[in-house]
Structure 1
Amino acid sequence: MNCWFRGLTLASVVLVAACATTRPVVHHQGDVVTMGLQGQREHALADTSHWTLQGKLSVSDGNDNHSGGLTWKQDGDRYDFTIRAPVTGRSFRLTGGPDGAELEGLDGGTRRGPDAETLMAQTVGWQLPMAELKSWVLGLRADTGPAELRFGDDQLPSQLVQDGWTVDYKAWDATRQPAMPSKVFAEKPPYKVRLAIESWQLGQ
């Protein structure tokens, strides 16, 4: 693995999200009203394919933990995913779309692959479900198969189970309409992805 990524290893990562509401611990299956509200959220965000988020990302494979500042720009089917190392300030950039993916910033030059998931797994050992994460980060179910939703007392999703991953919504920015996730933890043992979102810019 690239030495720079080893340099990102941290014992723990503090994920802080602005304007976040603390999530209740208790989960419950959605009743008619709760599912109706979620349906309204999903309808309002269904066509949201252009956005930028700023935050912090932590990824673990069960042995190593890596983290950094994140800027994620989504432009339809195309993405620009930049991670900055917390100490050195060095960054790498993952870009691509339906025609493939490119990873810049590694020793040895730009790497290319058929898609983001394959490229990240082959080059740095990260398991990032990019196709699904594009929906999950919005608090939506991906269109890749059946999903189970659970809700907190605030009637916002607290957990989503899909494609073998368990996605816990630890905090939401309820100042936005519709409310947007601000702390998202996804896990498929031994892999873990932790995302703290500090700002959303929808439509750009």
Structure 2
Amino acid sequence: MKSSFRFLAALAPLLLAACAPQQLVRNKGDAASLAQQVAREQQLANANHWTLQGRISITNGKDGGPGSLTWTQDGDHYEFTFRTPIIGKSFRLTGGPDNALLEGLDGGPLQGPNAEALMRHALGWDVPLDELRAWVLGVRMPGTNAELSFGNDKLPSLLQQDGWAISYPVWDNARQPPLPTKVFAEKPPYSVKLMISTWTIQ
């Protein structure tokens, strides 16, 4: 699998450049912005059953590549399907709090205690999937300090937490509460860029 992603690494900069965020307005939150964010987080506190589809690019500074993503969250259980159209392969990551299974590898499936440890072992990627579950909704991960900046629409434009910087260039304001449609998370050398085409929340 690593060799496949090395092949895709040369293509990744093209997608990253195309999806580079525009200069974002980043205002320190006033009382109204912070109150609106707290209300959003309360509305989404029980949003544990959802599916998103879109495009994703992940890199560790050396290996990585673009593809399409379907992410289904069912309570504490998840399923990620990552497809790489250039080489015609699919990878599937499923699991829950105590186990994870990664399928689609050249050497056969791998199983481990959790998704983060499995991806770190198999791919050399240090991606905080538990935190991403919150960040992808545009909310803070409970339990650790976070710093927020807001755009003129009083929605988060930058969330800094656990050493990661998460940018939100585009929001779907037609939804209530609004949901992000672009999520860019960076902690050098790691980068995750997600462009969401559809949200389905139960």
TM-score scaled to structure 1, two decimals?
0.92
Aligned to 2:8: 8
Distance 1:63-1:3 versus aligned 2 partners, 3 A rule: closer
Deviation of 1:24 after TM superposition, in Å, equals: 6.1
User: Could you state the TM-score of these two structures normalised by the residue count of structure 2?
Assistant: 0.93
1:107 corresponding residue in structure 2:
106
- Give 2:72's aligned residue: 73
Write the distance in 1 (CA, Å) between the matches of 2:25 and 2:144: 25
Structure 2 unaligned regions, length at least 5: none
Whether the aligned pair in 1 keeps the contact of 2:5 and 2:64 (CA below 8 Å) is no
Runs of 4+ in 1 over 3 A off after TM superposition: none
Instruction: Give the corresponding residue for 1:118.
Output: 117
Q: Percent identity?
A: 52
Residues 170 and 183, structure 1, Cα contact 8 Å, conserved in 2 = yes
**Offset at residue 104 of structure 1 (A):** 0.2
TM superposition shift of 1:23: 6.8
The CA RMSD over aligned residues, in Å, is 1.7
Letter in 1 for 2:168: Y
Are the equivalent residues in 2 in contact too, given 1:183–1:195 (CA < 8 A)? yes
Cα deviations by residue, 1:160-180 (Å, 9 ceiling, x for unpaired): 011111111111111111110
Deviations, residues 34-66 of structure 1 (Å, cap 9, x unaligned):
111111111111100000000111111112331
2:47 touches 2:201 (CA, 8 Å); kept in 1?
Answer: yes
Flag the 1:5–1:64 CA change in 2: closer, same or farther, 3 A: closer
Tell me, in whole angstroms, the C-alpha distance in 1 between the residues paired with 2:64 and 2:3: 13
Q: Deviations over 1:156-197 (max 9, x none)?
A: 000001111111111111111111000011111111110110
Q: Secondary structure at the match of 2:105?
A: coil
In 1, the alpha carbon distance for the partners of 2:19 and 2:22 equals: 14
Question: Structure 1 or 2: larger helix share?
Answer: 2
Gaps of 5+ in 1: 17-21
CA shift, 1:15, in A, is 4.0
Q: 1:93 to 1:198 in 2, by over 3 A?
A: same
Deviations, residues 58-86 of structure 1 (Å, cap 9, x unaligned): 11111233111000000000000010002
- Name the CA distance, whole Å, in 2 between partners of 1:128 and 1:60: 10
Question: What corresponds to 1:58 in structure 2?
Answer: 57
Is contact 2:2–2:63 with CA below 8 Å preserved after alignment? no
Hey, what's the Cα distance between the residues in 2 that align with 1:73 and 1:15?
Answer: 23
